[in-house]
Amino acid sequence: MITVSLSYPLSDELLQQWGRPQVTAIGQFDGLHLGHASVIHQAVSLAREQKVSASVMTFHPHPKEVMKKGDYEGYLTPLADKQAILADMGVDVLYIMSFNEDFSKVSPEAFMTDVLLPLQIQTAVVGFDFRFGYRGAGHEDTLRKLGGEQMAVHTVPPFELDGEKVSSSDIRRALQTGDLTQASRWLGRPYRIRGTVMDGEKRGRTIGFPTANLKLDDTYVIPVKGVYAVRALVGNHWISGVMNVGVKPTFHEGVLNPSFEVHLFDFNQQIYGESVVVELHHYIRPERKFSSVDELISQIGNDAQTAKKLLG
Ligand SMILES: Cc1cc2nc3c(=O)[nH]c(=O)nc-3n(C[C@H](O)[C@H](O)[C@H](O)COP(=O)(O)O)c2cc1C
Ligand SMILES: Nc1ncnc2c1ncn2[C@@H]1O[C@H](COP(=O)(O)OP(=O)(O)O)[C@@H](O)[C@H]1O
């Protein structure tokens, strides 16, 4: 998959290089959950039928982040994660349209005449609730009307599991309430975060549970504070472990930003500075303040046993 950065208005040079008949899925696609996957699979299969390239157009940063709407809570799949997942879905080209205040004012008409038609998109594939252009004025019918003879529009209906529509906002809620089973079902994979191992307070090893402290590489949606059964990719190996997302109330008061610390099972290596991906499989319990370090140690021991059982 090739990634192409776009900024509005598109230059002639860019259009010469990338303007070609193609089928394009357009959307924000944060989370790349099962609903998004159904839109993208549809685009890829239409592209194969029409013997043209399959592309995805997405917008970055997230419009909610740029427009400071107040309900922005971070990314389920920051750009790097999105890229990796889309590459595995058979997408040939990923267009990343730079989203800023100026671009937010582009009308549906201008988006069609200045972006979609010059790129020679012959079929646009969008989800049922797709909105585009200034103030989200455009929707699927607008796209159809403006595209006329030159661009077909394919709308994908809501993807449902057990009669419920899969949505990014429900996945965020599930992560914020510790319902990881639901989050994983809707995502079609466990929720993942990526970070770099930093120095911590060097206490972990003294209590028998060294923990790799992660500085997250992006502004992820933060799952509820507490203890999780996880699998972590360290180098080329997936290792089971237990993670605490929290502020360590046993030792500190008034900390606002949670830390992400993973104790890896049967592991004893120095990994400061390494990049680690953590998959959150199960939520075990909320974080709490213990009245002694011994109680904390014994609870972490129980957590590790629970995680081993849950991870099988
Ligand atoms: C599985 C697990 C569960 C934890 N649960 C709690 C908890 O409930 N309350 C708490 O104050 N700290 C908890 N911690 C955090 C420990 O206090 C922390 O790992 C320890 O202080 C070492 O920190 P350091 O790696 O920064 O040195 C937990 C850590 C792990 C690995
Ligand atoms: N089983 C393990 N799980 C996590 N980290 C480990 C493990 N064994 C060794 N380490 C290393 O030790 C560090 C954690 O030790 P710790 O005493 O908790 O220090 P810090 O407070 O700096 O995180 C990790 O960053 C990693 O480099």
- pLDDT tens digits for 286-297? 999 999 999 999
Q: How far is the CA of 308 from the centre of ligand 1 (A)?
A: 18
Give this prediction's pTM: 0.94
Q: What's the rounded mean pLDDT across residues 297-306?
A: 98
243 DSSP β-pair partners: 228, 262
Residue 33: predicted pLDDT: 98
Instruction: List active site positions.
Output: 261
Q: CATH 3.40.50.620: does it fit domain 2-161? A: yes
pLDDT higher than threshold 90 for residue 66? no
Mutate to test the pocket of ligand 2, among 271, 303, 308 (most ligand atoms within 8 A of CB): 271
User: Which residue has 């699979």 as its token pair?
Assistant: 41
Q: Residue 70: pLDDT band by 50, 70, 90 thresholds?
A: low
- pLDDT tens digits for 131-165? 999 988 999 999 999 999 999 999 999 999 999 99
Q: How far is the CA of 264 from the centre of ligand 2 (A)?
A: 9
What ligand has the least distance to the C-alpha of 271? 2
Q: How far is the CA of 199 from the centre of ligand 1 (A)?
A: 14
pLDDT higher than threshold 80 for residue 69? no
pLDDT higher than threshold 70 for residue 115? yes
Q: How far is the CA of 211 from the centre of ligand 2 (A)?
A: 4
Phi and psi at residue 255, in whole multiples of 5°? Answer: -80, 135
Q: Which atom of ligand 1 is nearest to the CA of 204?
A: 22
Residue 67: predicted pLDDT: 84
Mutate to test the pocket of ligand 2, among 196, 209, 211 (most ligand atoms within 8 A of CB): 211
Residue 135: predicted pLDDT: 87
Answer CATH for 190-311 from 3.40.30.10, 2.40.30.30, 3.40.50.1820, 3.10.450.630: 2.40.30.30
Domain ranges of the chain: 2-161, 190-311
Q: Residue 72: pLDDT band by 50, 70, 90 thresholds?
A: confident
Mean pLDDT of the chain: 96
Are the C-beta atoms of 53 and 20 separated by less than 8 Å?
yes
Helix axes 180-187, 168-176, angle to 10 degrees: 150
Q: Which atom of ligand 1 is nearest to the CA of 288?
A: 8
HSE-CB at 151 with a 13 A cutoff on CA atoms is: 29
Nearest CA to ligand 2 atom 11: 270
Q: Which atom of ligand 2 is nearest to the CA of 267?
A: 1
Nearest CA to ligand 1 atom 11: 248
Residue 212: predicted pLDDT: 98
Distance CA 33, CA 55 (A): 18
Q: What's the rounded mean pLDDT across residues 203-232?
A: 97
ipTM: 0.95
Nearest CA to ligand 2 atom 6: 210
Write out residues with Cβ below 6 Å of ligand 1. 200-204, 209, 211, 213, 227, 242, 244, 248-251, 261, 263, 287-289, 296, 300, 303
Distance CA 83, CA 263 (A): 28
Peptide bond into 61 cis (omega under 30): yes
Mutate to test the pocket of ligand 1, among 202, 225, 244, 306 (most ligand atoms within 8 A of CB): 244
